[in-house]
């Protein structure tokens, strides 16, 4: 048993989503777009970094003292004594692959840290450093602790992470920031597993490679961490020695972690970070220490989160092409899905310090959109375009849109709605056709129907069918139009104006004159698809249709061009100029109806015609009161102004007959129209 079309669409959407998902996973495994993902992390730091930071008690030099002062050895000794007296000074060193000289146990204790961890979980465990290049012995012995400052940037040259512990042949070596944090947190040893590093009571997340992804708080120039020049510090010290008020209050440094480092470009210690391409290296150590003390390093989302969110985005994007038919709505829905995921990523980053991948999931969404759109274009899109091109020739854009949006609605049945029906027909078309060659007749008819159809559609009418030279149109369906009656009237007025312009051109080419009569009526109708399962037609049924058809034919009797039914006049009255023509009982109906002639849009009736209509209405009022002599005078006056006014001619003829043979006492003014 074949699957329903809707089920096939859902299966195809799932197939597209899964195919894009698998492709994305394969590309991700190959490391494609890694740099782009790192740049997206930089964007998060720049836009959403939290400037709040913390501190503690220590002095940390981010300056290497690898060689003694050749000009003043006493300076080294004095510095070492000051360091020893302070008992809270830390110095950096470098890691190296060359075999080191033997280190004494005290020095080794200062440069390494006991770790509860499997060696392979430490950074650089597969290729451990052979040794360390320490500061000069006097400073090494005097320091509270030592830490390395060997930094390795990401593939794009940007520093985003660093290993808190590195494996060497002498044991686990701490970063300079890790050594300081160990001291401040009073941690005897470090505990590291595959996900976290614990120092004392604090825990920070680490990557599978043993790195901390730094949680940046701001660049140095943003004053996230206060900075003072060494010149200002020395000047303040000298002023204090003289008993003067110092430039910098010593209280600024009390109970703080003080980093001593270089910021000038000439020191070659500027690094590329997410915050700036000219970041002093000391800021990296400050940020790392801040993260360690506050347990606020960035944690990478678990792999399953990446897999799940990417799968949801791929499938959701493909499903959008099944759920929604309009292209604009599809784009908005998928764009909303992309924005929602971006919001989730930012929420995880700002509120939970979690790094969720952004580039690959969003890229997978874009790829799923492109593939789905391409598949739709090549399959259903092509079918839709063929159907659309065919349907557009026979029905209004609104009907075609409805069919395209909801093909399942094409079934027998209808609904009851108040609509306006429009009928037009060419007067004496049989005579015209006898005067023309078939080729000329087809040309003339096509030009006429094309022009008139465009006008009807311009006023949101649905050209329901062509009846030879006649047109039947519907206003108010399938798309509801509250002003359907007024729209039909506007279309009829422009219809007659356009036909008048066409007649001038036809006359110049020797074609016979064409005049069209229009009947418009509104009322409750059944609208929908009618016919058989093999062939159906979108049309309307009801008495209002029949009356519109009768009104079109009644124009011939009154020498008018556009006649309206009573409900159309009632609905469109605020927008049109019209006059009552007669109370008719048309063929096939028992109840009489008041019929109106449509003259112009509201306020557009010429002054001369207004005078004619006023006299006509006075005569009609007298006619209804059986004052036939007064009526005759008014109708004659109206015809004197406009001898071609058809309704006035009809009534003048009637009053002349009634003056000769008065109607019976029960006369109600209703005229029976015996012909169609």
Helices (H), 198-254: 230-241
Indicate whether 580 pLDDT > 90: yes
Q: Which helix (H) or strand (E) holds 368?
A: helix 359-376
Residues 6+ apart with CB under 8 A from 457: 396, 397, 463
pLDDT of residue 236: 81
pLDDT of residue 403: 60
In which band, very low, low, confident or very high, does the pLDDT at 55 lie, cut at 50, 70 and 90?
A: very low
Lowest-confidence region among 196-200, 571-575, 619-623: 196-200
pLDDT of residue 588: 62
SS3 letters across 631-645: HHHHHHHHHHHCCCC
Q: What is the CATH number of domain 410-602?
A: 3.30.70.1230
Determine how β-strand 354-355 pairs with β-strand 299-300: parallel
> Cα separation of 120 and 126, whole Å?
7
Q: Which CATH architecture has domain 606-676?
A: Alpha Horseshoe (1.25)
Indicate whether 392 pLDDT > 90: no
Query: Which of the 8 DSSP states describes residue 561?
Result: S
Indicate whether 100 pLDDT > 90: no
Indicate whether 163 pLDDT > 80: yes
Residues 6+ apart with CB under 8 A from 475: 419, 420, 421, 422, 459, 460, 461, 462, 481, 484, 485, 487, 488, 491
Q: What is the mean pLDDT of the chain?
A: 82
Which of 32-46, 201-215, 410-424, 562-576 tops mean pLDDT? 562-576
Indicate whether 644 pLDDT > 90: yes
Q: Is 232 helix (H, G, I), strand (E, B) or coil?
A: helix
> Cα separation of 655 and 663, whole Å?
10
pLDDT of residue 452: 93
Lowest-confidence region among 136-150, 163-177, 376-390, 502-516: 376-390
Lowest-confidence region among 75-89, 314-328, 580-594: 314-328
Cα distances from 14 to residues 103, 175, 323, in angstroms, run 64, 49, 13
pLDDT of residue 58: 76
Residues 6+ apart with CB under 8 A from 484: 418, 419, 420, 475, 476, 522, 571
Indicate whether 486 pLDDT > 60: yes
In which band, very low, low, confident or very high, does the pLDDT at 412 lie, cut at 50, 70 and 90?
A: very low
> Which of these, 156, 176, 162, lies nearest to 124 by C-alpha position?
162
Q: What is the mean pLDDT of residues 280-291?
A: 85
In which band, very low, low, confident or very high, does the pLDDT at 496 lie, cut at 50, 70 and 90?
A: very high
Q: What is the mean pLDDT of residues 20-46?
A: 76
More reliable by pLDDT, 276 or 398: 276
Rg over CA atoms, the chain: 46
pTM across the whole model: 0.56
Residue whose pair of structure tokens reads 């347990």 in the numeric block: 295
pLDDT of residue 643: 93
Preceding peptide of 364 cis, ω within 30°: no
The proportion of the chain whose per-residue pLDDT surpasses 90, expressed as a percent, equals 25
Do 26 and 360 meet the contact criterion of CB atoms below 8 Å apart? no
* pLDDT tens readout for residues 104-121: 777 888 888 888 876 666
In which band, very low, low, confident or very high, does the pLDDT at 674 lie, cut at 50, 70 and 90?
A: low
Q: What is the mean pLDDT of residues 603-627?
A: 94
Indicate whether 565 pLDDT > 90: yes
pLDDT of residue 18: 81
Q: What is the mean pLDDT of residues 523-550?
A: 79
> Cα separation of 369 and 317, whole Å?
6
pLDDT of residue 159: 86
In which band, very low, low, confident or very high, does the pLDDT at 456 lie, cut at 50, 70 and 90?
A: very high
> Which of these, 70, 157, 163, 45, lies nearest to 115 by C-alpha position?
163
pLDDT of residue 533: 58
In which band, very low, low, confident or very high, does the pLDDT at 52 lie, cut at 50, 70 and 90?
A: low
More reliable by pLDDT, 574 or 442: 574
> Cα separation of 309 and 341, whole Å?
8
Domain ranges in the chain are: 5-32+301-388, 58-223+261-298, 410-602, 606-676
Which of 243-257, 303-317, 542-556 tops mean pLDDT? 542-556
In which band, very low, low, confident or very high, does the pLDDT at 306 lie, cut at 50, 70 and 90?
A: confident
Do 379 and 372 meet the contact criterion of CB atoms below 8 Å apart? no
Which of 68-82, 144-158, 262-276 tops mean pLDDT? 144-158
**What would the two tokens of residue 647 be?**
């309704």
Which of 85-94, 128-137, 608-617 tops mean pLDDT? 608-617
Indicate whether 301 pLDDT > 50: yes
> Which of these, 610, 607, 614, 602, lies nearest to 573 by C-alpha position?
602
> Cα separation of 506 and 512, whole Å?
7
Q: Is 68 helix (H, G, I), strand (E, B) or coil?
A: coil
Indicate whether 211 pLDDT > 80: yes
pLDDT of residue 323: 74
Q: What is the mean pLDDT of residues 252-262?
A: 83
pLDDT of residue 471: 94
Q: What is the mean pLDDT of residues 487-502?
A: 95
In which band, very low, low, confident or very high, does the pLDDT at 656 lie, cut at 50, 70 and 90?
A: very high
Residues 6+ apart with CB under 8 A from 317: 17, 334, 337, 365, 368, 369, 372
**What would the two tokens of residue 184 be?**
């401040």
pLDDT of residue 168: 82
pLDDT of residue 195: 83
* pLDDT tens readout for residues 264-282: 766 667 888 888 888 888 8
Cα distances from 415 to residues 72, 170, 322, 391, 529, in angstroms, run 104, 88, 27, 22, 10
């Amino acid at each position: 048993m074949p699957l329903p079309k809707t089920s096939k669409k859902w299966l195809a959407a799932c197939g597209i989503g899964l195919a894009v998902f698998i492709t994305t996973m394969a590309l991700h495994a190959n490391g494609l777009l890694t740099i782009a993902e790192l740049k997206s992390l930089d964007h998060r730091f720049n836009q959403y970094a939290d400037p709040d930071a913390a501190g503690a008690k220590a002095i940390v030099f981010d300056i290497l003292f690898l060689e003694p002062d050749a000009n003043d050895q006493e300076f080294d000794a004095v510095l070492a004594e000051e360091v020893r007296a302070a008992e809270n000074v830390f110095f950096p060193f470098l890691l190296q692959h060359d075999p080191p000289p033997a280190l004494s146990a005290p020095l080794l204790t200062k440069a390494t840290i006991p770790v509860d961890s499997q060696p392979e979980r430490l950074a650089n465990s597969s290729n451990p450093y052979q040794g360390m290049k320490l500061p000069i012995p006097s400073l090494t012995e005097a320091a509270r602790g030592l830490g390395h400052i060997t930094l390795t940037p990401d593939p794009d040259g940007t520093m985003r992470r660093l290993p808190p512990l590195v494996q060497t042949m002498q044991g686990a070596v701490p970063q300079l920031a890790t050594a300081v944090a160990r001291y401040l947190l009073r941690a005897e040893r470090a505990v590291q597993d595959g996900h976290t590093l614990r120092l004392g009571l604090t825990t920070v997340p680490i990557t599978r490679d043993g790195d901390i992804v730094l949680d940046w708080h701001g660049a140095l120039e943003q004053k996230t961490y206060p900075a003072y020049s060494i010149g200002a510090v020395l000047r303040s010290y000298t002023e204090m020695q003289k008993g003067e008020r110092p430039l910098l209050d010593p209280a600024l440094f009390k109970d703080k972690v003080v980093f001593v480092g270089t910021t000038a470009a000439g020191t070659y210690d500027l690094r590329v970070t997410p915050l700036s391409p000219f970041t002093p290296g000391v800021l990296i150590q400050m940020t790392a220490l801040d993260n360690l003390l506050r347990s606020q390093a960035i944690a990478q989302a678990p792999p399953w989160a990446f897999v799940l969110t990417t799968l949801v985005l791929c499938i959701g994007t493909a499903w959008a092409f099944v759920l929604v038919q309009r292209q604009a709505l599809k784009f908005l829905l998928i764009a909303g899905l992309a924005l929602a995921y971006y919001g989730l990523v930012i929420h995880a980053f700002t509120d939970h310090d979690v790094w969720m991948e952004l580039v690959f999931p969003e890229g997978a969404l874009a790829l799923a959109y492109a593939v789905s759109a391409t598949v739709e274009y090549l399959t259903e899109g092509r079918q839709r375009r063929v159907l659309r091109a065919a349907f557009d020739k026979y029905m209004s854009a609104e009907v075609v849109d409805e069919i395209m949006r909801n093909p399942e609605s094409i079934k027998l049945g209808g609904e009851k709605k108040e609509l306006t029906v429009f009928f037009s027909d060419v007067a004496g078309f049989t005579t015209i056709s006898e005067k023309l060659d078939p080729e000329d007749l087809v040309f003339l008819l096509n030009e006429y129907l094309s022009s008139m159809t465009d006008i009807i559609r311009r006023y949101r009418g649905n050209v329901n069918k062509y009846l030879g030279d006649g047109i039947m149109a519907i206003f108010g369906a399938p798309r509801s139009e509250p002003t359907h009656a007024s729209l039909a009237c506007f279309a009829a007025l422009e219809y007659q104006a356009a036909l008048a312009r066409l007649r001038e051109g036809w006359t110049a080419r020797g074609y016979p004159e064409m005049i069209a009569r229009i009947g418009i009526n509104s009322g409750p109708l059944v609208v929908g698809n009618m016919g058989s399962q093999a062939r159906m037609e979108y049309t309307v049924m009801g008495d209002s249709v029949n009356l519109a058809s009768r009104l079109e034919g009644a124009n011939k009797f009154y020498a008018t061009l556009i006649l309206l039914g009573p409900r159309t006049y009632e609905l469109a009255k605020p927008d049109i100029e019209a006059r009552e023509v007669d109370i008719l009982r048309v063929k096939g109906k028992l109840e009489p109806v008041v019929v109106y002639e449509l003259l112009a849009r509201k306020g557009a009736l010429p002054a001369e015609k207004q005078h004619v209509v006023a006299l006509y209405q006075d005569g009609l009022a007298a006619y209804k009161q059986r004052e036939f002599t007064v009526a005759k005078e008014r109708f004659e006056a109206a015809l004197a102004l406009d001898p071609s006014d058809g309704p006035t001619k009809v009534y003048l003829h009637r009053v002349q007959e009634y003056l000769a043979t008065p109607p019976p006492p029960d006369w109600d003014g209703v005229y029976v129209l015996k012909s169609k």
